[in-house]
Amino acid sequence: MGDVINVVEAKAHFAEWMNRVAYQGHRVVIERHGKPVMAWVGMDDLARLEAIGTTPDVREQRLAALALAAEARAQIRAERHGQPMPDSTETLHDLREGRTHETDMR
C-alpha cells in the first residue's frame, strides 16, 4: 500500500507529505476514524490510473458503482424521510462537549 496516516496528521503536516508524494514517489492513504477515505498519489501514478480508467470495462464498472452509490443515497434519504445525514463534524463536537461536561461534573 504505502504510508497510512490519519486526517489530523495529514492536515498538520500537509506540506511535508505533499513533498514526499510529489518528489519521493510515496503513496499515502488518509484514514478517518481508522478507515481509509482517500489516497494521495504522485502525478505518474495518477496518469497510470487515468490510462487504466479509459478502458471500456473499467468505465462500465465505474458507472455501475456510481449507480449503486446513487441508489444507496436515495435509500438512505427515503429511510430518513428526506432529512439529510447529520454533519459528522458537528456530531463529534457534540459528543466531545458531552464527554467534557460529564468529566467536569465528577
Closest by CA position to 28, among listed 50, 7, 51: 7
Q: Mean pLDDT for each consecutive 10-residue tract of the chain (106 residues)?
A: 89 95 93 93 89 74 86 82 76 84 70
Residue ranges per structural domain of the chain:
3-105
Degrees to nearest 5, angle at CA 41 with 36 and 44:
150
Determine the residue type at 63: L
The model's pTM is 0.49
Q: What is the pLDDT of residues 46-72, one digit of tens each?
A: 988 888 766 677 778 888 888 888 888
Domain 3-105, CATH homologous superfamily name and number: YefM-like domain (3.40.1620.10)
